[in-house]
Amino acid sequence: MRWLTLKLRAQLVFFILCTCVICQCGLINGEICQSKNIRNNVTNLRSLENCTIIEGHLKILLMFGAKSGDFQGLSFPKLRVVTDYVLLFRVYGLETLSDLFPNLTVIRGNNLFFNYALVIYEMLQLKEVGLHSLMNITRGAVRIEKNPDLCYLATLDWSMILDSVEDNFIVANKNERECGDVCPGTAQGQTLCTQTTINGHFRGRCWSQTYCQTSKCQSSFFPLLHLLCHYFRYVSFEPFLCLFRLTCEPCAGPCPKACQGNKTIDSVTSAQALRGCTVIEGNMVIKIRGGTNIAAELEASLGQIEVIKGYLSIRRAYALVSLSFLRKLHTIKGEQLEADSYAFYALDNQNLRQLWDWSKHNLTIERGRTFFHFNSKLCMSEIRKLEKITGTKERNQKNDIAARTNGDQASCEMQLLNFTSVKVRYNMIILKWNSFWPSDYRDLLGFMVLYKEAPFKNVTEFDGQDACGSNSWVIADVDPPPRTNQEDPGYLIRSLKPWTQYAIMVRTQLSASDEHQVHGAKSDIIYVRTNASKPSGPLDPISSSNSSSQIILKWKPPTSPNGKITHYRVICHKQEEDSDLYKFDYCLQGMKLPSRTPTHLDSEDEQKWNRTEEPNSGGGCCTCPKTKMEIEKQQKEIAYRKTFEDYLHNVVFESKQSRPRRSVENPEPIGSTHFYSTMSSLQTTTASYKEEEKDDKVSKVVENVFGRESTVISNLQHFTSYKIEIIACNHLTDPGRCSMATYVSARTMPELKADDIPGPVTHEIVNEEPPHVLVKWHEPPSPNGLIILYEVFYRKVGDTEPHSICVSRLSYEKFGGTKLTLLQPGNYSVIVRATSLAGNGSFTGTTYFFMPSLIYGSLFFIM
C-alpha cells in the first residue's frame, strides 16, 4: 500500500510537471500541424495561426506580389517547433522573421532539405534573419545564399545553435563591410550581448539591433524541461611549370600518342592502360569475355586509336556486340600478320552483331587478308561490306570467310519499318510506324522502341551495347496491335528534355522457331528534336563599376537553354539606402562609422570567371594546369551547387499528376502540368513585376541584350546601390519562354565633389544664456549615398590647435548647423566638411567671426 502511495505521488508530480511544460510550450492554446507549403499570397500564412508544433516541414515561397506593408502586424507567436526543415525562397517584401516567428525555438531536422534544416535562398528584401528565440537546430546544417540585402550574419554564432557548423553554406549575401550591424547597447556605448570569437573576431552576438543572441537552455530547470519535452518527442537538443617564355600551339584534335608493342585486351583494366593512344606500334588482340559497363569503358579507353601497324584480332570476345568503340580506327597497316596471312581476324565471337556503321565509318587495310569464322550472329552482309570498303575483297581466298558459320543464328534479312507520323512536344515525342506481321502472326511478340539523346547525328544501333547487359539506348516495349485494328502501331515517349535531339529507332521482337526461318523488321535511325521550353536562369553574374554612372555586367549562359537563346533581359532597380542609417547618432563614442564601397571586380576573381577549357591561342606562357585534386574539388563544388539548385526548383515547382489515362492520339496537353504558382504569375515576376510598381521613388533601367553575355548599364546615379535582374529568353515575344531571374547587386562609383558643402558657412551670434554662435551651412544637394555626419573645426586666432565638433545628421536637421559655445571673446575661424557613405568631402572655405563679451544680455566690446 505504501508502495502504491509513493507511485501515485510520483505520478501526480510528473503530471503537474508535464502540465507546466505543456503550458510553457503553448500546446494548450495551440495545435500540432502537419507540413505547411505556403506560397503565392501572404494571406495563406494565416494557416499557421494556431500551430505550436509543425510535425513536418515549413516552406514559404514564391510570393512575388508581396510588399513590406503586407507583413506588418503579421505574427505567429504560438509556433515553437518544426520537426523537419524550414525553407524560405523568393518571398518579396519580407524584411525580417523577427515578428513573423518570435518564438520559434527548435528546428529538429528529422527530414532535411538537401542536408539542410534551415534554407534561406534568394530572399531579395530580407535584411536580417531575426529568429531571436531559435535555440537549437538538432540535425542538419544551415544554407543562406543569394540574399543581396541580408545583414546581421557576421554577428551570429551558429555554434550556439548547431552541434557542428562545418557544413553550413552561407555565401553571396550582402557584403559585411556594407552592413552597419549594430547590436543592442552599442549605440549607447555599452556591450549587452554575449561575446564570442569566430575566425579571430571577438564581438557581441546578436540577431538584430533589438535582440541579442542568447542561449536560453542553460537555466537549472532546463535538464528537466529537456527530459520531459524529449518524452513528448518534440524537442531534443543533442605538373607543369612554364620556366621559359614558350609559345603553345594546340594539336589539331587529340595530341598523337604512340603506344609500343603488342597489346592484348582481356579486361577493362587492360583497356584502360591504352587510354589516349592514337597509334598502336604492333598488334592488338581483343578477347574480353565479361565485365561491367564494357562498351562505355572500351570506347573511353580505345576510342582514340587511329592506326594499328600490325594486325587486329577479335577472338572469343563474348562480351562484344559491336566494334563501334574503335570509332576513330581508319588504318590497319598489316606490317605483321596473324598466321602470316591476316590483318583482320575474327574467330568465335558469339554475340558480335555489327562491325561498324559503314555509312559513317571508313577503314583501310593496307596489307593482308581478313578471316571470319564462327561468328554466329554476324550477318554475311556486314562482312561483305568490310571486304568492299577495306579493299581486301580481291585479296581474300575461298576459305577465309565461312558463309555457314557466320550469321547462322541471326535474322539477317530484315524488312524496313517506316515511320508514318512523328509529333513533337517540348517533353514528349509521339510516334507511329507501319504495321508489320510475319508469315505466322504468332511469331510477333511486339516492338521495341529505342531512343537516346544524340547531340550529333552519328549514332549506330549497337552503340554502347555489350553482351553483359549494358546498353546506352532506352528501350520501351510495345505490344502488337490487335489483328482487327487497322491503325498503325505507335508509342508516346515521355519525360524528355526540351530542345534536345534524340535518336530513335523501332525493331520487331520475334519468337525463335525451329520449324521455319523468321524474318523481322526494323526502322532506320531517325533524329528528332523536342520543342523549346522555358530556359534555366543565367549563371555566375558578376558586376563592377567603372564610373559614377555605369555598371559593367557579365554572366554565363544557362546550363539548360531549352532552345536557342534569343536575348537577355536586364532590369536594373535603384535601391534606397538602409533606413537604419537614418536612425543612429554616429557621433557617439563606440559607434562604428558606416561606409560603402563601389563594386570592383578583383583581378583574381575576373581571371577565375574568365578561365575556360580552351587552349591558349596567343603567344606567351602556357597556363599552368590545375592539379587533379583541384580539378576534382572545383567540379564537385560546381556539381553540388547545380544539384542543389535543381533540387530546389524541382521541389518548389511541384506538378500535380492527376489526369485520366490518354491514348497515343490524345496525349496530355502541353499546359496540363499545373504549377502551384501559375505560369502567368511566374511570367509577371521574371519579366515585368517591377514595371507595375507605382512608387515614384524606385527608378529602373530596362535593357534587352542580344548576342552576348555582357552589357554596360549607363545613365545611373552616382554612388547608388542597384539590384539587377538578368533573365534569359529563347523567344522574342513570348514571356512564357523566359527564365526565372538571376540577381546581382552593384554600386556605382562616387562622384567627385558630390560631398562638398555648397555656398559659404554663415554664423549668427545668439545673446542667450549661455551665449553661443549658431554656425550654419547647406547640405550637399546630391551626396554620395547620404551624409551621415559633419565635422566642424574652429579655433581662436592665435591658438595653435583647433577644436572640433562632430555634428550628427539628426542634430543638423534640428538646427541647420550647430551651436558653438565659446567661453572667451575674440576672433575665430571655422571650417566644415561633410562625411558621406563614400568618405569625407572637401573642407569649406574659412569663415571668420568676432565673438564679443556678452554679460547679462548686453554686448560689451573689450577695448
Other CB atoms within 10 Å distance of the CB of residue 284: 24
In CATH terms, the superfamily for domain 20-231 is Receptor L-domain (3.80.20.20)
Query: What is this structure's pTM?
Result: 0.66
> What DSSP element (H or E) covers 572?
strand 567-575
Fold of 415-529: Immunoglobulin-like (2.60.40)
The predicted structure's pLDDT at residue 9: 52
- One-letter amino acid identity for 74? L
Nearest to 761 by CA among 828, 836, 859, 825: 828
In CATH terms, the superfamily for domain 258-400 is Receptor L-domain (3.80.20.20)
The pLDDT of residue 237 is: 35
CB half-sphere exposure, 700, CA atoms < 13 A: 16
Query: Alpha-carbon dihedral of residues 573, 579, 585, 587, nearest 10 degrees?
Result: -20
Residue 674, C-alpha cell as written in the block: 499545373
Q: Are 787 and 839 in contact (CB under 8 A)?
A: no
Distance CA 165, CA 27 (A): 31
**Alpha carbons 411 and 376: distance in angstroms, whole number:** 11
The bridge status of strand 51-63 relative to strand 444-453 is unpaired
pLDDT in the model for residue 626: 65
Q: Which of 335, 332, 326, 333 is nearest to 357 (CA)?
A: 326
Q: What radius of gyration do the chain's Cα atoms show? A: 38
Is 142 strand, coil or helix? Answer: strand
pLDDT by residue (tens digit) across 202-261? 888 999 988 999 865 443 334 434 433 443 444 433 333 333 333 455 666 667 889 999
Domain 258-400 shares a fold with domain 415-529:
no
- Domain ranges for the chain: 20-231, 258-400, 415-529, 535-604+677-749, 762-860
Helix H or strand E encompassing 372: strand 369-373
Q: Are 338 and 345 in contact (CB under 8 A)?
A: yes
Can you give the pLDDT at residue 861?
A: 40
SS3 helix, strand, coil % of the chain, rounded to 5?
Answer: 15, 30, 55
Grid coordinates representing 263 are: 597489346
- Give domain 762-860's CATH architecture: Sandwich (2.60)
- Nearest alpha-carbon partner for 71 in 98, 89, 37: 98
pLDDT at 605: 58
Cell reading at 380? 554475311
Contact 775, 804 (CB under 8 A): no
Those residues with Cβ within 8 angstroms of residue 311's Cβ, 6 or more apart along the chain or in another chain: 283, 284, 332, 334, 336, 337, 338, 342, 343, 344, 345, 368
CATH top-level class of 535-604+677-749: mainly beta
Determine how many CB atoms are found less than 10 A away from the CB of residue 783.
23
Within 13 A of 263's CA, how many CA atoms are on the CB side? 27
pLDDT lower than 70: segments of the chain = 1-30, 215-254, 512-518, 590, 601-626, 628, 653-698, 823, 854-863
Provide the residue type at 68 as one letter. S
CA–CA distance, 422 with 427 (Å, rounded to integer): 14
pLDDT (0 to 100) of residue 21: 47
DSSP 655: B
Do residues 558 and 679 lie in contact, with contact meaning Cβ atoms separated by under 8 Å? no
CA atoms within 13 A on the CB side of 595: 11
Cell of 427: 517533353
pLDDT in tens, 295-346: 888 998 999 999 999 999 999 999 899 999 999 999 999 999 999 999 999 9
